[in-house]
Amino acid sequence: MTHIQDDIKLAYIIAISIMMLFVCFIVFVVLMYNKRQLLYLKEKQLKEVEHQNQLLQKELEKQKSIEQERERISHDMHDDLGAGISALKLQAEFLKQKVEKDDVQDDINELLKTSEEMNISMREMLWSLNSENDTLGSFIDYAIQYADHFLKKTQIKLWSESIDIVSEIPISTELRRNLFLCLKEAVNNGYKHSRADELKLSFSQEKNVFTMKISDNGIGISEGQREGNGFRNMRRRMNEQGGEFEQSSGDSGTCLLFKITL
């Protein structure tokens, strides 16, 4: 009887041992499987990161190539087209000194005016192409310089102010050009229609929101003028950049407001 009980105990011990070994084996298999899965996931993530890095590198190389092409076009325009316009202007001025007939003088004056306009347009394109100007400060400096040059031969006095501007903050070439074209249209409209003797450019920044305000002390804008092509173009440009355009007008003048999140 005792012998049978010992055999049963031994059988229990063996069975429990086998079960423990089986459990350990299962745990070992599960751990190895999880380890392999983790290694697989890490390897997959590394491959994805490597792929993203390759895409980023290609994009950086593409951007660098575009920047180099912009610089090349800019230099070619400055060297070739700029020199040609300057030579044309000098020749016209030389002819003007030699010719006495009024009608020919008028033609030469028109030629001088056209060459000056071409020179201004070329400088604007060079400024647009130069990637070194892709900062908020550069845009504001050029905007004030343009408005001052445009209005200096008129009776309109220019005022400007900059409030809390972070000059070094980068802006895209597209945004910089669209903001400038809006300002150019606004200053031109002020000169043509406002009958103002003062125009104010105000640039301000609150965190990452940039605001450009152009106001005058003129006669205001009629209802028909408020829906003209100029205002539609300004609104379209700002909408394309995810910005806002507002206008207000009254007896005390006109105010155009351009707001964009940088």
> Within 10 A of 85 (CB to CB), how many other CB atoms are there?
19
152 plus 180 within the same structural domain = yes
Q: In which domain, by residue range, is 27 found? A: 1-132
Amino acid at 187: V
144 plus 42 within the same structural domain = no
Domains in the chain: how many in total? Answer: 2
Of 187, 177, 179, 114, the residue nearest 149 (C-alpha): 187
238 plus 142 within the same structural domain = yes
DSSP for 25-67, please give it.
HHHHHHHHHHHHHHHHHHHHHHHHHHHHHHHHHHHHHHHHHHH
Of 81, 114, 132, the position where a domain reaches its end is 132
72 plus 105 within the same structural domain = yes
209 plus 174 within the same structural domain = yes
262 plus 145 within the same structural domain = yes
Question: For 182-238, where are the E strands, in sequence order?
Answer: 198-206, 209-216
Per-residue pLDDT of the chain (262 residues; tens, 9 = 90+): 566 666 677 777 777 878 887 777 787 877 888 888 888 888 888 888 888 888 888 777 776 766 666 666 665 555 556 566 666 666 667 666 766 666 667 777 777 777 777 777 777 777 877 777 889 999 999 999 999 988 988 899 999 999 999 999 999 888 998 999 999 999 988 888 888 999 999 999 999 999 999 999 998 877 656 567 788 889 999 999 999 999 988 878 999 999 999 8
Of 97, 132, 167, the position where a domain reaches its end is 132
Query: What three-state secondary structure class fits 131?
Result: helix
Q: Are the beta carbons of 131 and 65 closer than 8 angstroms?
A: no
Q: What is the CATH number of the domain that holds 165?
A: 3.30.565.10
CA 175, CA 134: separation in Å to the nearest integer?
9
